[in-house]
Amino acid sequence: MITVTPEARLAGLLCDLAARTLPEDVGQRYAEEWRADLAADPTYALQYASSILANVLVLRLTLSGAVKADQPLRCQLHLHHYVPIHDNPENRRATSHRCTRCGHITDDSGVGGWPGRFNVSDRDPYAR
């Protein structure tokens, strides 16, 4: 007879709760996988289930395509680290910028200022 401890039962419920937040077509599969992990090693069941619950939102966003798993978190939050990559010889005030972390490129027309939160005149050596 298999004895299920209250901690293991709670961990299973937490995993089921996490799986319910996922899209219906994959939630059941994840629940089964997480329960298999709990059954294989119940030593830290609550810690395991807690970590799943804590990260299920990121998993949901990744599955939906809203978040790219290989993109740094700060870039996912649109906090890119832009550096100027070239200036436009036709317009010395316009500069393209590339994020050093993810490679995202943005063009700055001089309208609206520096990509992100700084004004282009603060960083652009050609700005007047």
Residue choice 80, 95, 97, 124 for contact with Zn ion (CB under 5 A): 80
Any contact of residue 75 with Zn ion (CB under 5 A)? yes
Strand, coil or helix: 35: helix
Any contact of residue 92 with Zn ion (CB under 5 A)? no
Number of residues in the chain: 128
Q: Which is nearer to Zn ion, 46 or 75 (CB)?
A: 75
Phi/psi region, residue 95 (left: phi>0; alpha: psi -120 to 50; beta: rest), is beta
Q: Which is nearer to Zn ion, 53 or 61 (CB)?
A: 61
Residue choice 37, 104, 106, 110 for contact with Zn ion (CB under 5 A): 104
**Nearest distance, CB of residue 62 and Zn ion, angstroms:** 17
Any contact of residue 99 with Zn ion (CB under 5 A)? yes
User: 13 vs 18, 55, 57, CA distance in Å?
Assistant: 9, 16, 17
CB-based contacts of 25, cutoff 8 Å, min separation 6: none
What residues make contact with Zn ion under the rule CB under 5 A?
75, 80, 99, 101-102, 104
